[in-house]
Amino acid sequence: MNGDFDLQLNEVEKIFTPRPKTSQSNTSTVRQTTNTFDVDDLLRDLDIPKVSTQLKTTYAPVIFSCQDVYYESHKGGGFFSQSKFCNVLKAEMLNIYTVELTITKRLWTKHQDCVRIIQAYGDQNECLHISCEYSPIGILVSYFPEDQSNKFLNLCVTDITIEKIIKEKFISRDINLTTSSDLTTTNQSFFAQDILKLENQLRSRPILIILEQRCIRLFGIIDLVKEVEKQIEDIQIKYASNMVQLNLKPNQINYLMDIHCDELKALEANYKDTKIIEHLRNAKFLAPTYLQNTIEKQIINLATLCTPIDFEIQEESFRPIAQNECSNLINIGRQYKCHIEIQENVINYTCKILKAISQDHVSDALTAAAIKIHQDDLAEQKVDLVVICSTSMYLRDDILKKAGQSVKQEYIEAAKSSPTEPFETNSGNLKCRKLLFLPWEINRTNNYTFYQSIRNFVKKAVQHAIKTHHTSIAFPSIGCGQINVDKTIIANEMLVEAQKQLLTGNVLLQIIFVILPQQIDVFNAFQSKLDNLQTGNIAIKDAEISYRLSTLKLTIISSSITKQEECKKALNNHIQKSIAVREYLQQTALKIWTQPTINKFYKFCFNQHVVLDMNIQIGYLKLFGSEQSVIEADNEYHKEQAQQSEQARLAVIARDVIWAYKINDNNWEKYSSELNIRIEDEYSSKRSTVSE
C-alpha cells in the first residue's frame, strides 16, 4: 500500500460512526491538539466509568476484525466488505505501526490465562488499544507506538505506559495454607471443597487463581484480587482448627477415654481436621471454628455422669491376688459401660516358717555329729572325700606334694580335660579315700554375689559327695588365708549352706570343716556359728518369706445408675468366684513333717500366691488365695501328708541299719540313704527283692 498512511487512516475514520461526545472523548481530543501524552491522565481515564452507547465504534479492533458497523454509502465504504482488502490493510498496519512488548520475569507470566485477564482489561477501556499473546518466554503485548504517527494519538500508547498499567492496575498474591490443608488430595476436606467452589465461581471473571498443595496464587485487577483474597481469608477463618478448652474433671476424662473411645474416634472420622483423643487428656480438643460448638456439646453429653459408687474389697482371700486381678476388674466394668478407678493399698506380710517338731534321723545326726569343726591338717583327715580348692595354689600344691607323684600326675591330666569342673583323684599317700578338686569361682560384683560364690562352693562339693555315695567329707576354710575375707562371713556362709544341703538331701553325711591349728580366731568363728545352728538358731532369711498383699478400693463411674448397680453386682460375683479358702483342724500328722518338707511346702504356696497359716502344735492349717492356686496347694498338702507318713514309717525301720555291697575283699560300698531304707523295709517284710 502506497501513500501517506496517516491520510489513509484519516479516510478510514471518516467512514466510522463518530464516537459520542463524553468527557473521555473530549480529553482525548485535547491530547491530539496539544500533541502531548500523560500516563497518569491515561490511567485516570481508564478508571472513569464508561458511558454505555447503543453503538460502539473503535479504531484498531475495526481494522483487525472488521466486525464493527460501517456504512457503504460513504466514499470507499464498499472495500470493507472485501476480505482481501481487510487482510492487506491489516498486514500493512502490523508492519508499519505495531510494536511488541514482552512482559517477563514475573511468576504469573508462566500461566496462559494471564493473557485473557490483561486483554479483558484492555478491551473494557476505550483509551487502551493492545493485543496480548502467550509465549514461552513471556506475554507479548502488541500496540501502536506513539512515535510512528503524529495523528490519531488516541490509538497509540508507549511501552512505559503499558509497564505502569501492569504495575499499578494488576497485583499478584500468594496465600499460604496450614500444613493440615491439602488442595491436591482426592479425600478433600470441607475447606478444600469451599476453595474449589470459589475457584469455579471465578472462572468467568478476569482473575487467575492457581491451587497448589500448600498455597493459593492469585493474579488480576487489584480490587478483584483483594476481594477474592478476603473471601479466601474468610474461608480459612471458618475452617481454621483451634484448641478448645473443655470444662471436664479428671474422672470424666478417664471415663471418656475408657468407655467412649470408639465414639470419640467416630467424631474425628465424621468431622475433618479434628483431633480429640490426642488432646483430651489435657481437657482440650482441636477443631475448625465452625465445628467447635457442635463437637463440644457432643463431648459434654458423653461425659455427663451420675454420682460415683465407692466400695472396698474386704475379702482377706482376695488380697494375695488383688494386684493381678486389677485388669479383670476394669474389663468387667467396661462390659457394663462403667469406668473402674482403683486405689491400691499394699502391705508386706512376713510369714515365719515354722520349725519341725519331728526329730528325724537327719535332724538327730545334724545336731549330734553331722557337722564338726576340727583343728588339724586337711591332709590328715580320715574321711571318704577331702575337698581341695583348686584355685588356691598354696593349698593345692601342698596336698599334691603330700599325696605323691602319681596323684600329681593324675591331677595334671584331669585338669587338662576339665579345668573348670570338679573331678576326683586317688588319695595316694593320704589317709582319705578320694580327693575332690573344685575351683572357687569368686564373684565380687557385690556382697550378695560374693556370698553366693562361697555357698556354691559348698553346694557343689556336698551334692557331689551325695551323688557318689560318700558318707563323710572334709572342707578347708576357704578365703581365710591369702584373700583374708572376714572369718565370720566365711563361717556363716559355709555352715548355713552345709546345713541346707543336708536338710534338702535328707541323707546321712558327715561334714567336717578343718581349720589350721594356728588359726584360732577362724576356729572360734566356725564353732560359734555351728553352736547356733545345732540349737536351731538359723538365719532369718532362711526362716521367713514375705507376701505382697493388696487391699483395693473401687470407684464405679458411669452415666447410668442402673449400669453402676449391675456392675457392682458383677464385680462382687467375680471376686467370690476368684477366691478360695481351705481350713483344716486336728492335723496331727503335721508333727511328723521334717524341716525340708515344711520349707518345701511354704515355698510351693508362696510361688502359687497362696498364703499359708499353720500351727503344728495344735494341728491347724489354713490356705487362702485364688481358687485354682488353693486347689493346687491343697493337693500338694495331701501329697506331702502321705509321703511324710510313709517316710516316718521307713525311718523307724532303718534307723540303726546300714546296708552295703562288697567291691573287693577289702572294700565295701554303702547304699544311698534312700535305697538303704527301702532295702531294710523289704528285708523286714521278708521280701527277697527291692521293687523299682
Place of cell 599325696: 403
Yes or no: say if 387 and 401 are a contact pair by the CB < 8 Å rule: no
540-552: pLDDT as tens digits: 445 778 888 999 9
Instruction: Check residue 75 and report its DSSP letter.
Output: T
Yes or no: say if 554 and 342 are a contact pair by the CB < 8 Å rule: yes
Gap between the Cα atoms of 37 and 230, Å rounded: 37
Q: Which residues contact 433 (CB under 8 A, 6 or more apart)?
A: 383, 384, 385, 427, 470
Q: Is residue 666 part of a domain?
A: yes
- Same domain? For 500 and 601 the reply is no
Please state, as a whole number, how many other Cβ atoms lie within 10 Å of the Cβ of residue 477: 23
Q: Give the three cell numbers for residue 533.
A: 545352728
Q: Which residues contact 311 (CB under 8 A, 6 or more apart)?
A: 553, 554, 556, 568
79-124: pLDDT as tens digits: 666 677 667 766 766 666 555 556 555 656 677 788 888 888 888 8
pLDDT of residue 304: 92
pLDDT of residue 600: 85
Gap between the Cα atoms of 126 and 145, Å rounded: 16
Q: Give the three cell numbers for residue 293.
A: 460448638
Given the DSSP bridges, would you call strands 579-584 and 620-626 parallel, antiparallel or unpaired? antiparallel
H or E element at residue 579: strand 579-584
H or E element at residue 415: helix 405-417
Please state, as a whole number, how many other Cβ atoms lie within 10 Å of the Cβ of residue 688: 6
334-380: pLDDT as tens digits: 999 999 999 999 888 888 888 877 554 444 444 434 788 999 999 89
Burial (0-12, 13-18, 19+ Cβ within 10 Å), 463: middle
- Same domain? For 387 and 478 the reply is yes
Gap between the Cα atoms of 259 and 679, Å rounded: 69
Report the candidate in 538, 532, 549 with the shortest Cα–Cα distance to residue 598: 538
Give per-residue burial for 513-528: e unless 16+ CB within 10 Å, then b: bbbbeebeebbebbbe
- Same domain? For 412 and 503 the reply is yes
Please state, as a whole number, how many other Cβ atoms lie within 10 Å of the Cβ of residue 613: 11
Helix (H, G, I), strand (E, B) or coil at 158: coil
pLDDT of residue 36: 42
- Same domain? For 498 and 397 the reply is yes
CA angle 176, 228, 175 (to 5 degrees): 10
- Same domain? For 456 and 586 the reply is no
450-477: pLDDT as tens digits: 888 899 999 999 999 988 888 899 999 8
Q: What CA–CA distances, in Å, run from 398 to 377, 472, 517, 654?
A: 11, 22, 16, 41
pLDDT of residue 672: 64
Q: Is residue 455 part of a domain?
A: yes
Q: What CA–CA distances, in Å, run from 169 to 38, 125, 363, 534, 619?
A: 16, 12, 113, 112, 109
Q: Give the three cell numbers for residue 308.
A: 460415683
Please state, as a whole number, how many other Cβ atoms lie within 10 Å of the Cβ of residue 30: 11
> Looking at this protein, which amino acid is placed at residue 535?
T
Q: What CA–CA distances, in Å, run from 661 to 160, 654, 666, 669, 679?
A: 129, 17, 12, 5, 12
> Looking at this protein, which amino acid is placed at residue 657?
V
Q: Give the three cell numbers for residue 666.
A: 577289702
Gap between the Cα atoms of 457 and 442, Å rounded: 9
Q: Is residue 111 part of a domain?
A: no
- Same domain? For 670 and 590 the reply is yes
pLDDT of residue 466: 87
Please state, as a whole number, how many other Cβ atoms lie within 10 Å of the Cβ of residue 316: 13
- Same domain? For 405 and 276 the reply is no
Look at residue 509 and tell me whether its pLDDT is greater than 90.
no
Q: What is the mean pLDDT of the chain?
A: 78
pLDDT of residue 629: 92
Q: Which of 73-77, 80-84, 191-195, 535-539 has the lowest mean pLDDT?
A: 73-77
**Domain containing residue 671:** 578-685
pLDDT of residue 654: 55
pLDDT band at 640; cut points 50, 70, 90: confident
Please state, as a whole number, how many other Cβ atoms lie within 10 Å of the Cβ of residue 379: 21
Yes or no: say if 385 and 470 are a contact pair by the CB < 8 Å rule: yes
Among 18-22, 144-148, 270-274, 316-320, top mean pLDDT goes to 316-320
Report the candidate in 139, 141, 169 with the shortest Cα–Cα distance to residue 42: 169
Residue 29 has phi, psi (to 5 degrees) of -65, -40
Residue 68 has phi, psi (to 5 degrees) of -80, 170
Overall domain count for the chain? 4
pLDDT of residue 94: 63
**Mind giving me the DSSP string for 627-692?**
HHHHHHHHHHHHHHHHHHHHHHHHHHHTTT---EEESSSS-EEEPPHHHHHHHHHHHHTT-SS---
Q: Is residue 276 part of a domain?
A: yes
- Same domain? For 613 and 489 the reply is no
**Mind giving me the DSSP string for 609-645?**
T-EEEEETTTTEEEEEEEHHHHHHHHHHHHHHHHHHH
Q: Is residue 394 part of a domain?
A: yes
Gap between the Cα atoms of 366 and 358, Å rounded: 13
**CATH number, domain at 479?**
3.40.220.10
Last residue of a domain, one of 307, 323, 351: 307
Q: Give the three cell numbers for residue 405.
A: 607323684
Place of cell 481437657: 283
Burial (0-12, 13-18, 19+ Cβ within 10 Å), 87: exposed
pLDDT of residue 56: 32
- Same domain? For 429 and 512 the reply is yes
End-to-end CA distance of the chain: 136
Last residue of a domain, one of 59, 87, 105: 105
- Same domain? For 508 and 394 the reply is yes
Q: Which of 181-185, 324-328, 645-649 has the lowest mean pLDDT?
A: 181-185
302-347: pLDDT as tens digits: 999 999 999 899 888 899 999 889 999 999 999 999 999 999 998 8
What is the length of the chain?
A: 692
Gap between the Cα atoms of 679 and 456, Å rounded: 33
Is the pTM higher than 0.85? The answer reads: no
Q: Which of 27-41, 390-404, 618-632 has the lowest mean pLDDT?
A: 27-41
- Same domain? For 512 and 582 the reply is no
Alpha carbon dihedral 201, 204, 207, 213, in 10-degree steps, equals 50
Q: Give the three cell numbers for residue 362.
A: 537327719
Yes or no: say if 672 and 469 are a contact pair by the CB < 8 Å rule: yes
Q: Which residue has the higher pLDDT, 141 or 306?
A: 306
Q: Give the three cell numbers for residue 402.
A: 603330700
Gap between the Cα atoms of 383 and 370, Å rounded: 13
Q: Is residue 82 part of a domain?
A: yes
Q: Is residue 277 part of a domain?
A: yes
pLDDT band at 533; cut points 50, 70, 90: confident
Last residue of a domain, one of 517, 540, 565: 517
- Same domain? For 474 and 404 the reply is yes
Q: Return the sign of the alpha-carbon dihedral for residues 635, 636, 639, 644.
A: negative
Q: Give the three cell numbers for residue 668.
A: 565295701
232-283: pLDDT as tens digits: 888 888 887 789 999 999 999 999 999 999 999 999 888 877 899 999 999 9
Q: Is residue 320 part of a domain?
A: no
Q: What CA–CA distances, in Å, run from 343 to 276, 338, 571?
A: 28, 16, 15
Q: What CA–CA distances, in Å, run from 371 to 364, 421, 466, 495?
A: 11, 25, 15, 8
